[in-house]
Amino acid sequence: MKDTPSQRELFNLFLPLALSGLFYPLASPVVNAALARSAAPELALAAFAVARGLSNPLISPLHGLRQVITALVRDQEMLGHMRYWSIILGGAGTGILLAASWPPAYRFLAGQLMGIPADIVAIGPPVLALMAFSPALAVSRGYYQGILVRYNRAGPVGTGALGYLLGTTACVVAGLIWWDIEGALLGALALLIGQVVYLLILWWPTRHLDIPAFSDEIRPEQRSARYVFYFFLPLALSSAILAGTEPFIQAAMARAPLAISSLAAGPVCTSLTWLAGVPLWNIQQLVIARVVDRASYQVVRRFVFIVSAILTGLMGLVALPGLDEAVFGTLLGLKGEVERLAIEGYRIYFVSPFFMGWRSLYHGTLIGKNHTSPIRSAAIARVLVLFITLGGLLLYGQLNGVMLAVWSMLASTVAEVAYLGWHVRRLQW
């Protein structure tokens, strides 16, 4: 029987991933703050959010590759299979987004299908063209991160995220001071530069890792590109299904009261919660590495509960009267109706990281047990609840766009976590 990890050991493994999860999402509030100080802040914030919403359905599924790499990259042969799929999937995602950034295609997707106002749509094509490189960069970053975590070299993950934040911040500051560039385009350029910096920092230490030629931890039936693909597929479908809902949420917001202000305020509200959400999303890799039996699961579950409660509590402090205005108004630069809506939504949505922690616990446990199909089914259940809630509130409620999105996303998240937890309780250890 393998040793059960202590809380201290779990913390030491989690710390670099937590630092990565802290620095990485900070870039979004930095970009939002820059957009809020641009020449046309509402249009810049809304256009940036719409372009990002169109890109996320292709980017989000690719993040699951790092979990697969963490679980399977035990020797050189498996490394080759991972490299193969990373090149194929990252290149395909970038190609699709470049095609979608063609102005007629973008006007059809954002304007005709989503119903986004024309002045917001007009800004979007070059913004999406820069974001089109994110799939290839995200896959490459996940490839190297998975290798580093598997071989106990997680430190560069935190350093890389800090480089991403500093690179993004330097770009938006330079753009606001010296460049005459539209706000949403500046935001997309800043994120692109930050991702390149992050990738280089992760790539450098992997050059000298001693990866064995062969490991008996990998079963013969796992040694194929086909197995890797079907192991990854439920994770990709889950993320694609969830990310694909973003344009629908934005379309619902565009049809609710205070549409343009809501489209501008919504991403600021939700991106702030990712300061806690991303560290808790990253905890999946800890779960994959440490959960081997029921005893270790119970220890890791306790650790996840403690970390989730602490980080969610810290996010709740931002919702306190006075501090909320300091963060959203003074720090992030929001004004008027946009500031009011962002604060109103955040006072409810700040609890979302707590559910992210439990979602990551269940995801990591199922991945470690080679049982990923419930992850896809849970995503479908989440989408069904989201669409029912969005439709019901839009038809029968009088909520503004931000509150419509916040309540719908929370309800669907709770449904997904409950479904995943039910499957984990049925596992045969």
User: Which positions ≥6 away from 140 have C-beta within 8 Å?
Assistant: 86, 90, 199, 203
Output the pLDDT for position 2.
54
Residue 324 belongs to what H/E stretch?
helix 323-325
Output the pLDDT for position 64.
80
pTM of the model: 0.75
Sign of CA dihedral 10, 139, 22, 373: negative
Separation between Cα atoms, residue 316 and residue 347, nearest integer Å: 8
Separation between Cα atoms, residue 245 and residue 265, nearest integer Å: 18
- Tens-digit pLDDT profile for residues 296-307: 899 999 999 999
Sign of CA dihedral 403, 281, 146, 200: positive
User: Which positions ≥6 away from 225 have C-beta within 8 Å?
Assistant: 81, 84, 85
DSSP code string of 90-106: HHHHHHHHHHHTSHHHH
425: number of CA atoms within 13 Å, CB side?
6
Output the pLDDT for position 207.
87
Closest Cα to residue 268, out of 118, 111, 401, 413?
A: 401
Separation between Cα atoms, residue 128 and residue 136, nearest integer Å: 14
180, burial (CB in 10 Å: exposed 0-12, middle 13-18, buried 19+): exposed
400 and 341 Cβ atoms separated by less than 8 Å: yes
Output the pLDDT for position 1.
43
Q: What is the pLDDT along the chain (429 residues), one digit of tens a residue?
A: 456 878 887 887 788 888 887 788 778 878 888 888 887 888 888 888 888 888 877 787 788 888 888 888 888 889 899 899 999 999 999 999 999 999 999 999 888 888 888 888 999 999 999 999 999 999 999 899 888 887 878 788 889 989 999 999 999 899 888 887 888 899 999 999 999 999 999 999 998 888 888 888 788 888 888 888 888 888 888 877 777 787 788 888 888 888 888 888 888 888 888 888 888 988 888 888 788 888 889 999 999 999 999 999 999 999 999 898 999 988 888 888 889 999 999 999 999 999 999 999 999 999 888 788 899 899 999 999 999 999 999 888 788 889 999 999 999 999 999 999 999 998 877
54 and 297 Cβ atoms separated by less than 8 Å: no
Output the pLDDT for position 160.
92
Output the pLDDT for position 3.
66
